[in-house]
Structures are given as structure tokens and as C-alpha cells.
Structure 1
Amino acid sequence: MVVKFRKHALKFLQKTTGDDVSQIQSQLRQLIISIEEKSIIPFTELDIKKLKYRSNPPLQSYNLDRTSPII
């Protein structure tokens, strides 16, 4: 699965440490598994909010699966 991150998100992820990193990794893994197996986005389980589309700079893509390291 390819996940795209904005530059600001990548900078945020690079600045985070310790417990925050592990929590973000587990939530991303849970999101990937849910989308791959059930083909749904778990909005309520992961407290995901629907975002409005706006024109932003290009995204950076990363191939992620259940075994790949995240961040």
C-alpha cells in the first residue's frame, strides 16, 4: 500500500520521540490492516476526521505494508 505524506507531516514525524512514535506507528499499522482486509477506513476507532480538499504542495509517497518500518 502506498501512503502519501505532506512535508509538514514528515517534519512533525521526524521531531517526535519515544512513546509518540510508537503510538503513531501502531495507529498507522491499524489503519493499513483495516483498509487492506476490510476495505474500510475506521473513522470512529482511530478518531479520523474527514478533511476538506485544498490545493497543497505535492506529497511524498511511501510503500507500507504490515512488516515495513513506519517512520
Structure 2
Amino acid sequence: MLRSSGMPIPAIRRYTELACGGDTTAADRLALLREHRALALVRIAALHRCLDLVNHKVAVYEDYLGDPAAGPA
């Protein structure tokens, strides 16, 4: 699950080491997960900026070509 969330392998290893430490490492695991969440939010924001740019370019071409459903002019 952590790998599919984009967590780097070193961070997963650290999480696993902490998990093996039992309940006494719960706060450290939480901190690691919060850091990962913050990084994921940064990546999401960057992807939203990319999507905004692509949407703008699509709109420019749609305006230029007229009705996109009609095909090439």
C-alpha cells in the first residue's frame, strides 16, 4: 500500500523498521506518514497546475478549430 501511494523505498524501509519496534514507535510512524502526506499534497498541486495548462491548451485548439465534434475544417 505505501509503495502504491508513492512513498519512496527508503521511507518504506524506515516505516517497516519502526513497525517492528512495536507500539513505542507509533509516534515516529505517524510523523513519517504525515511527512509523506505533505509531499503527496505537493505532488497533487503540481499535477493540478499541469492539468490547468493542458486544459488551457485544449481550449485554445477547440476555439481555433471551432466545434471539435465536427472534425477538421
The TM-score bracket by the shorter chain reads: 0.3 to 0.5
Q: Relative contact order (alpha carbons < 8 A, sep ≥ 6): 1 or 2 greater?
A: 1
TM-score (norm 2): 0.37
- In terms of fraction of residues, the more strand-rich structure is 1
- In terms of fraction of residues, the more helix-rich structure is 2
